[in-house]
Amino acid sequence: MDSFRRYIRKNGIPMSLYMDKHTTYWAMGKPTIEDELSGTEPMSEFGRALKDLGVGLIHAHSPQAKGRVERLFNTLQDRLVKEMRLRGISSIPQANEFLKEYLPIYNRRFARKAAQAENLHRPVPGG
């Protein structure tokens, strides 16, 4: 939630998010009677927050999509930790400062241009 809040403050509210099926984003429980009567699916707390913000949640279903997310996490958990160790970073504030430098470089190297270049973020309402 904290990461998403920081993302929103920087970029605005996205129209939708593309996520894996981790239980943070995907509720594994069975629908309650109320869910069945209203035709809704069970939601995680993160899913409820997205719904309140009007953000669509797209789950990665294909092995290729899930693999891309997993490769990113593996890279960050391996390479990022090594980079921080080489620079003597040992605290969360230092790591956050380092990420401001590291992530733009990483994104320039591995990002792919979107099929449509328009910005699909909405402004954050006041209050």
Burial of 35 (0-12, 13-18, 19+ CB in 10 A): middle
- For tokens 């504030």, the residue is 93
Look at residue 51 and tell me whether its pLDDT is greater than 80: yes
Q: Encode pLDDT of 58-106 as tens digits.
A: 877 777 766 776 777 788 888 888 999 999 999 999 999 999 999 898 8
Q: Encode pLDDT of 1-44 as tens digits.
A: 888 899 999 999 999 888 766 656 666 677 778 877 887 777 78
Of 55, 57, 54, nearest to 42 by C-alpha is 57
DSSP string, 30-92: PPPHHHHHHT-----HHHHHHHHHT-EEEE--SHHHHHHHHHHHHHIIIIIHHHHHHTT--SH
By the 8 A CB rule, do 21 and 60 touch? yes
Q: What's the pLDDT at 27?
A: 65
Q: What's the CA gap between 124 and 9, in Å, rounded?
A: 7
Its pTM stands at: 0.62
- Work out the angle between the directed axes of helices 2-11 and 45-53 (0-180°, nearest 10): 20
C-alpha distance from residue 89 to each of 43, 103, 104 (Å): 37, 16, 18
By the 8 A CB rule, do 121 and 114 touch? no
Q: What's the pLDDT at 85?
A: 94
Lowest mean pLDDT among 23-27, 55-59, 122-126: 23-27
Q: What's the pLDDT at 41?
A: 75
Q: What's the pLDDT at 65?
A: 67
Q: What's the CA gap between 88 and 26, in Å, rounded?
A: 36
